[in-house]
Structure 1
């Protein structure tokens, strides 16, 4: 197989991005994180603040019904604000901001998504997993605005092992955007190793690895073959 230059590898990744859409890929990740965050919280069985719990459910239902409505963010903001003001350091407040950030993100209003998540970034909620999710989602909102250095700093706050693969994959996306292919390979590889260890789905990550020159001949192998297409000579 002929060696590919860095420019050819970058073109490969751009073709992937063009086909799937960088916003669409990030949107899928945001949706998955939002879903995971909701179920994580539910599984923790927090029974306090029942009124705010009901408001969060109302917010989620209305957000789903208003998908595609350009006025959704403005219409839903009062509900989220009520939840936040009533209990700013609660899991319910974080979930409300998750919903608002996703609505803003889907409308391409990444600055608003960042603003919503920063409201709860310093939350004193006794739930480390939710705080990790806040920082992951915040990093994606910052990346969408090309605030790459800010996003990398935000990802440094993601320290729980369960979120390592997601954080490293996000770092890889940022390094690709910065045309830093060497670091992109390194963190994508780290994400792959963590993903394999946890037996998680990895098809998109596999595509990203191959796009930066790391060949994965079989998605069922225990780790990718580190045979790079780059001519190092």
Structure 2
């Protein structure tokens, strides 16, 4: 081949010429690569540090909640939501706040807390669970149509029995009994045979059957 015909001197000259023409580009490429690697490592370290900080705050929140220190709980929740909004611990804190608000019958505030949690959950596995909790709050507030819309818009992977049961509850409140029956049956079909919720769900189906006979 032509390249094989060059003697050592000619090959050396070619290499030096190529390096003179491309050496700066090579050096810049190496520097950029090193900066990218270093920057990635720094970013990961920063993220790990912030996640640890959020975890510590959430542990403090749980300790304060167990001790009945409501003011401190609210303060820590606000800090997590404001300073660590992308952390799963902020979502946990917002969901915990929603639960306390439900217990205090503050359903509108509970919905606001859950909506914040959903909007910050991204593609997290927590999102379907948050949506199920939203539907529960909407049902408790007498907003069955809203609850049904929430359930039908979400994709509650891993929670299909609960989603279908809640759909049945919403449909019963809307007077759509046949559809409610199908939802309850779908919930039963999605459950394991030894699921503890089967008995309560079967009672709902039985109640529908009794109501149907009475209405006949």
Q: Indicate which of 146, 149, 158 corresponds to 1:150.
A: 146
Between 181-190 and 74-83, report the one with greater CA deviation.
74-83
Contact kept in structure 2, 1:139 and 1:155, CA below 8 Å: yes
Give the drift of 1:139: 0.9
Choose which of 106, 109, 117 in structure 1 pairs with 2:106: 109
Q: Which of these residues, 179, 188, 194, is aligned with residue 192 of structure 1?
A: 188
CA distance in 1, matches of 2:85, 2:165: 30
Please tell me whether residue 178 in structure 1 is matched to residue 174 in structure 2.
Answer: yes
SS in 1 for 2:111: helix
Structure 2: give runs of 5+ residues left out of the alignment.
1-47
Asked if 2 retains the 8 angstrom alpha-carbon contact of 1:94 and 1:120, the reply is yes
TM-score, normalization: structure 1? 0.63
The residue aligned with 2:86 is 89
Contact between 1:102 and 1:113, CA under 8 Å: does it hold in 2? yes
Q: Is the 8 A contact 1:97 1:120 kept in 2?
A: yes
Q: Distance in 2 between matches of 1:204 and 1:184?
A: 15
Partners of 1:155 and 1:112 lie apart in 2 by: 20
Q: CA deviation at 1:48?
A: 5.8
Could you tell me how far 1:175 is from its partner in structure 2? Answer: 1.6
C-alpha spacing 1:62/1:176, structure 2 compared with 1 (3 Å): farther
Give secondary structure in 2 for the equivalent of 1:119.
helix
TM-score by length of 2: 0.68
Matched residue, 1:36: none
Distance 1:194 1:51, change over 3 A: same
Q: CA deviation at 1:231?
A: 7.8
1:54-133 alignment runs, 5 A limit: 54-66=56-68, 72=70, 76-127=73-124, 129-133=125-129
Tell me which residue corresponds to 2:155. 159
Displacement, 1:79?
A: 1.2
SS in 2 for 1:189: helix
**1:47: Cα distance to partner?**
8.6
Return closer, same or farther for 1:103/1:182 CA change in 2, 3 Å cut-off: same
| Residue of structure 2 in register with 1:141 after alignment | 137
Q: 1:52-109 deviations in whole A, cap 9, x for unaligned?
A: 112222223333443xxxx94x653221111111122221111011110000011111
Match of 1:230 in 2: 213
> Cα distance 1:232–1:116, how it changes in 2: closer, same or farther (>3 A)?
closer
Structure with larger RCO (C-alpha < 8 A, sep 6+)? 1
Give ranges in structure 1 of 5+ residues lacking alignment.
1-45, 215-227
CA contact (8 A) 2:165 2:187 kept: yes
